[in-house]
Structure 1
Amino acid sequence: MSDQLNYNMEVIKVEKSRINDVDFNNLSFGKIFSDHMLICTYKNGAWNAPKIVPYQSLTLDPSTKIFHYGQAIFEGLKAYKDSNNDVFLFRPDENCKRLNISAKRMAIPELPEAYFMDGLKALLQVDKDWIPTQDGSSLYVRPFIFASGRGFHASPSDEYTFIIATAPSGPYFSGKVTVLIEEHYSRSANGGVGYAKAAGNYAGQFYPTQLAVEKGYNQVIWTDDNTHEYIEEAGAMNIFIRINDTLITSPTSDRILDGVTRKSIIDIAKSEGIPVDVRKITVSEVIEAANNGTLKEIFGAGTAAVVSPISGFGFKNKDYILPELENPYANKLKKRITDIQTNKAEDAFGWRVKV
């Protein structure tokens, strides 16, 4: 794959920006969209040159294959602006790499790295003013690919569309959440597409999560598909469990997404001297730790929320409340990672990328 674009990208700007209509002090997550988007199509066996155009609706034929066979993948990352008005991304190369891992699993042609990386940077330069500076806010970036070819035949599409759209957003979650450990439904299975960021993975989560919400919980903790004995993920996030002073997280697999925030938290925790154990952990071990007082914290980790502390969980019609700690790992790790992302602290890992 090419390391850089070998042409001048076409940029078609909006006639009038919508930015003055936006209240940047009261942003919800992912509901307001910036002026422009990047678009790139795959036709006749090759990806065509990307271009930047005004954010707009798409017109699709009813036979477009995404509607019928679900070939769709996406990524999520954020852009930040520091006090000097400089723009930064956090480990975008990992998102590009994972997009193509997902593409391969879903029989979608891999995207040239330069189309992702240079295209993203060009888009952010055009919509730089849309990056919020309020605490907890950022410009959420959504790259995605979907099958845009037509036909009812059950086969991979012959055409695809790649888009990067952005949304100035406030915090994903506010406060702590309660979760229900799932005993019946599964997020993914061995040999499946759980490790890919495929759209259908999330569609399949909505119904079990809805059932948990009806019981008074905010989210679901997913367990393995075979025995439901092992903790795997928390909602759409990777999960960390602190027993005594050790932070435990499940290893990635066919079923578990290789989260960028997850791997960053592991490295930051180790640099802080926090013991990290990447291993399978059973529901029974978590229950036992809750009963004997050694369970200190559970939190989710993902791009949107960064770190989401869990205040309690339910299992087999019983609720377990986690202790209120003075200096939880969750707060310390979230601050370390967000300070790197927003250029408020030294980046000893080389993760921060200036646009």
Structure 2
Amino acid sequence: MTNDQINVQLCSTRKEKPDFNNLSFGTVFTDHMFILDYTEGTGWHDPRIVPYQPITLDPASIIFHYGQTVFEGLKAYVTKDKEILLFRPDQNMKRLNRSSTRLCIPEIDEELAITALKKLITVDKEWIPNVAGTSLYIRPFIIATEPYLGVSSSETYQFMIILSPVGAYYKEGINPVKISVESEYVRAVPGGTGNAKTAGNYAGALKAQVAADAEGYSQVLWLDGKEKKYIEEVGSMNVFFKINGEVVTPSLNGSILEGITRKSVIELLEHWDIPVVEKQISIDEIFRAHQEGILEEAFGTGTAAVISPIGELFWQGEKLIINNGETGSLSKKVYDELTGIQTGIKEDPFGWSVKVE
């Protein structure tokens, strides 16, 4: 599908844009959105860009009752030369389809989705902030729209893309965050939906997140659902530890989201010849490494935060302070390199950046 096949309905009145020097995360949205419909027997059809607006659904729509939905998150950046760049959008659309397969949602044409995304960004390009540390957050998602109370997959869907100019995900920015290790609740188990980006995973995590917030912690570090001893991921990030010169991250086991920033960090570290290992690692091993003085750094990776250093872990009444609560040199180096590639400041030897126009 080409740009010419996407119907564009421009809004008659543009919204007032926010102060790009004072952006929060995910609270304001651009003038337009993309919509694509799916009907059983017809497939995906009627691609269109329309003014940003509420959507109307039947109260019996399957999304409301059985949570059949998937989503993605990526960003657009504007360079000093006014070019608009996306970071590995093909990986996001591949993951969207993997999530869809797990939730019995029909796959979308990945090239069509990227074409639509580029077109939407072009229409709303004035919304891309150009202040350091900001970006245009992109949220593609699919919802089941058939009105039916039987437990089954829907016969109709909508694929939508909305855009939001954002600042830092965490108020700490690149400064270290404090993370609480969750010992009571679990996020996912192998064979479940933990490796799919679906709404229910996040709703089920809210109880633990609320408790962590009350204690002054930014996020929850989840342990495995079976033994509650092996590290999996943080609520909005994959996690890495630098132990005695080696970087370790939990291996993908079917219940961990396959992060695109995670994948990029691994490839970047390998490019730098820094030892990096994907393996099962327990929370006990992390505390033992800290006691032995060989836990050098910890950081999370994700689209929203890019790199977020971890300065403290709290587990079973004990506080583990990492690198004196300061940003480590490797965390900073990875952050600078990734954000440099994303914003066009640094050379991209991997071909990760994709020009919008």
User: What is the TM-score with the length of structure 2 in the denominator?
Assistant: 0.96
Distance in 2 separating the partners of 1:23 and 1:196: 34
Any stretches of 5+ residues in structure 1 without a counterpart?
A: none
Partner SS state of residue 108, structure 1: coil
Give me the CA root mean square deviation: 1.3
How many corresponding residue pairs? 351
**Residue 317 of structure 1: how far off its partner (Å):** 0.8
**Residue 251 of structure 1: how far off its partner (Å):** 1.1
**Residue 8 of structure 1: how far off its partner (Å):** 2.4
Deviates more, 1:206-215 or 1:68-77: 206-215
1:182-331 equivalences under 5 Å are 182-324=182-324, 328-331=329-332
Q: 1:174 to 1:213 in 2, by over 3 A?
A: closer
Give 2:6's match in structure 1, choosing from 9, 16, 20: 9
Please give the per-residue CA displacement for 1:291-349, whole angstroms capped at 9, x wherever unaligned. 11111111110000001111111111111111246752111101100100001111100
1:41 has 2:37 as partner: yes
Distance in 2 separating the partners of 1:301 and 1:71: 26
Distance in 2 separating the partners of 1:182 and 1:281: 15
1:174 has 2:171 as partner: yes
Deviates more, 1:224-233 or 1:207-216: 207-216
**Contact 2:33/2:120, CA 8 A, preserved across alignment:** yes
Partner SS state of residue 49, structure 1: strand
1:92-171 equivalences under 5 Å are 92-171=89-168
**Contact 2:71/2:96, CA 8 A, preserved across alignment:** yes
**Contact 1:50/1:115, CA 8 A, preserved across alignment:** no
**Residue 178 of structure 1: how far off its partner (Å):** 1.0
Please give the per-residue CA displacement for 1:181-213, whole angstroms capped at 9, x wherever unaligned. 122211101110111001111111110111222
Other-structure match for 2:19: 23
**Contact 2:311/2:327, CA 8 A, preserved across alignment:** no
The residue identity in structure 2 corresponding to 1:193 is T
Q: 1:62 to 1:326 in 2, by over 3 A?
A: closer
The residue identity in structure 2 corresponding to 1:351 is W
The residue identity in structure 2 corresponding to 1:36 is H
Distance in 2 separating the partners of 1:283 and 1:93: 34
User: What is the TM-score with the length of structure 1 in the denominator?
Assistant: 0.96
Distance in 1 separating the partners of 2:131 and 2:10: 26
Distance in 2 separating the partners of 1:138 and 1:233: 24
Any stretches of 5+ residues in structure 2 without a counterpart?
A: none
Please give the per-residue CA displacement for 1:63-119, whole angstroms capped at 9, x wherever unaligned. 111000000100000000001111010000000000000000000011112321100
**Contact 1:13/1:53, CA 8 A, preserved across alignment:** yes
Partner SS state of residue 142, structure 1: strand
Distance in 2 separating the partners of 1:242 and 1:163: 39
* Identity score, percent: 45
Distance in 2 separating the partners of 1:353 and 1:48: 26
Partner SS state of residue 284, structure 2: helix
Partner SS state of residue 46, structure 2: coil
Distance in 1 separating the partners of 2:113 and 2:186: 32
**Residue 272 of structure 1: how far off its partner (Å):** 2.0
Other-structure match for 2:342: 341
Partner SS state of residue 313, structure 1: strand
